[in-house]
Amino acid sequence: MTATIAHGPLSDSSDSLLRFAIRADATLCAGLGLMLAFAADPLSRLSGLSPTAEWLTGAGLVVYGGVLYVLAAVPLIRRVGVGIVVANVIAAVVLGLVVAAGLLPLTGTGVAMMLTTVAAILGLAHLQYLGVRRLA
């Protein structure tokens, strides 16, 4: 007599793209956040923002990156993925509108940095969207 134990996979292979995209987002957010926090003073001279604003943004990104990394491991990853895609698109639109409206005292380099950030956010959102679509 033999016993068979059925083990389900820790994650479905179809969710690997979404989990990868969320972890990539987490890593980039935390890495950029650390850079902003550590180099707040010199970056503030380049961007036009205050060192305090740079540091707070960096600290927020580090926390957000940590949250994303934890969320990448939840079982119901599709719901989480949809939420992150929506949040990333909203963040990109808001940042784009802030730059377009001139609401921040950004230098030319600061505008370029913000628009590069918007492009990166949209790129990650697209990758995450593809991961969500793969699960549908």
- The candidate with the shortest Cα–Cα distance to 82, out of 18, 14, 6, 7, is 18
**Residue 59 lies in domain:** 14-135
Least confident of 14-18, 41-45, 117-121: 14-18
Query: pLDDT band at residue 7, thresholds of 50, 70 and 90?
Result: very low
Per the domain annotation, does 2 fall within a domain?
A: no
- pLDDT tens per residue across span 71-113: 999 999 999 999 999 999 999 999 999 999 999 999 999 999 9
| pLDDT attached to residue 79 | 95
Per-residue model confidence (pLDDT) at position 136: 77
Per-residue pLDDT, averaged over 25-53, amounts to 97
Concatenated DSSP letters of 8-27: --SS-GGGHHHHHHHHHHHH
In a domain, residue 1? The reply is: no
Residue 57 lies in a domain: yes
Flag whether 115 is in a domain: yes
**pTM as predicted:** 0.87
- Residue 95 included in any domain: yes
**Residue 5 in this model has a pLDDT that exceeds 50:** no
- What is the number of domains present in the chain? 1
132 close to 18: Cβ distance less than 8 angstroms: yes
pLDDT in tens, 9-29: 555 568 999 999 999 999 999
Nearest to 25, CA basis, from 77, 79, 64: 64
pLDDT over 90 percentage in the chain: 88
The neighbour count for residue 66, using CB atoms within 10 Å, is 14
Which pLDDT score is estimated for 121? Answer: 98
- Please indicate, yes or no, if residue 3 is contained in any of the structural domains: no
Specify if 122 maps to a domain: yes
Assign 74 to helix, strand or coil.
coil
Across 43-58, average pLDDT: 97
Domain for residue 76, yes or no? yes
Can you tell me the distance from the alpha carbon of 35 to that of 57, in angstroms, rounded to the nearest whole number?
A: 10
Amino acid, single-letter form, for residue 69: Y
Which of 52, 58, 71 has the alpha carbon at shortest distance from 30? 58
